Amino acid sequence: MNQILRRVQLAPNLLELTVKTRIARRAQPGHFVIVMPDAGGERIPLTIADFDREQETITLVLMVVGTSTAKIAAYPEGATLHALIGPLGEPSHLQGPGTAVMVAGGVGTAPVFPIARGMHQLGRRVISIQGARHRDLLFWSDRLAAVSDVALVATDDGSAGRKGLVTELLLELLQGPEREHIDRVVAIGPLPMMRAVSETTRPFGVTTIVSLNTIMVDGTGMCGGCRVEIGDKVRFTCVDGPEFDGHLVGWQQLANRQRTYHEQERCSLDRYTQDPKLHG
């Protein structure tokens, strides 16, 4: 188990991995796994982007941002991950009477897809908004459109879809005739984007769910490394999340915590890329 069956390059530094694992039997939209590339590697939380219970496979989308993700990205098809733990976290809430708007920024398309599909399978009306800096960074657009009643795309430079930000398209929906039917917005992507979406929906009082990818160690609630302020309470992303009410997230504290190990991460990656002996 934990064998990489398929490896697809989606964009520069962005990979899709299909992994053989019994975790697929219990996977639900919103769940994540903890991955270790080797015995000495760190534990990385990755959202389950897709799953096939019959084939016992899950799909992970990996962006290379540090040493451990670079190690995993170097694994060929047929290689085995040292450890794969899950499914972890609380599954997404899919039920609802109205329209759900899914906002996917960058790599956020991967975790948004199974949630949109789950809602679509329940018969909910789904509107998806997918955004990226450039068209070459878009992926799974056809898959997301297939589970959406309306699929919108925005790129920063206008190379695909509308030129502009996902929040601009979202604001148009909230100010238009769709507004009376929208009862939930789900936003997953870079932290600034999720914060911006939450501020866009706040004046309209629309429930807004974000998925947080915080610093994480054990993934079981024991270490407290993934703690985050939600309203006046402290929650642990690994067991209480990863999804939270975007209007209650302590965004500034979260941003500060996410920068805690940037220097150590940079030094580790520099050492890994410059020393061939570490690539064995």
Task: Kindly report the CATH number assigned to the domain that includes residue 133.
Answer: 3.40.50.80
- Residue 271 lies inside a defined structural domain of this protein: no
The CATH number for 221's domain is 2.10.240
Look at residues 72, 88, 104 and tell me which one is the last residue of a structural domain: 88
Does the residue 140 lie in any domain? yes
Residues 156 and 62 in one domain: no
Query: CB burial class (10 A; 0-12, 13-18, 19+) of residue 67?
Result: buried
Number of domains in the chain: 3
| Domain-embedded: residue 276 | no
* Domain boundary residue, one of 88, 109, 124: 88
Same domain, 230 and 195: no
Alpha-carbon distance 96 to 125, whole Å?
10
SS3 of residue 102 by DSSP: strand
Residues 118, 194 within the same domain: yes
pLDDT in tens for each of the 280 residues of the chain? 899 999 999 998 999 999 999 999 999 999 999 999 988 878 889 999 999 999 999 999 999 988 889 999 999 999 999 999 999 999 999 999 999 999 999 999 999 999 999 999 999 999 999 999 999 999 999 999 999 999 999 999 999 999 999 999 999 999 999 888 999 999 999 999 999 999 999 999 999 999 998 877 777 778 888 889 999 999 999 899 999 999 999 999 888 877 666 677 777 777 777 775 555 5
- Name the maximum alpha-carbon separation found in the chain: 60
272 in a structural domain: no
My answer on whether 203 and 219 are in the same domain is no
36-70 pLDDT, tens per residue? Answer: 998 887 888 999 999 999 999 999 999 998 888 99
Q: Using CB atoms within 10 Å of the CB of residue 132, give its burial: 0 to 12 exposed, 13 to 18 middle, 19+ buried.
A: buried
65: three-class secondary structure by DSSP: coil
Let me know whether 74 and 108 are in one domain.
Answer: no
Residue 115 in any domain: the answer is: yes
- Is 273 inside any structural domain? no
Same domain flag for 191 and 139: yes
Helix (H) or strand (E) holding 240: helix 237-240
| Residue 241 tokens, joined | 């999340």
Q: Which domain holds residue 252?
A: 213-263
Domain membership of residue 182 (yes or no) is yes
Judge if 103 and 167 occupy the same domain.
yes
Asked if the structure places residue 280 within a domain, the reply is no
- Same domain for 111 and 201, yes or no, is yes
The β-bridge partners of 209 are: 186, 245
Q: Are residues 239 and 181 in the same domain?
A: no
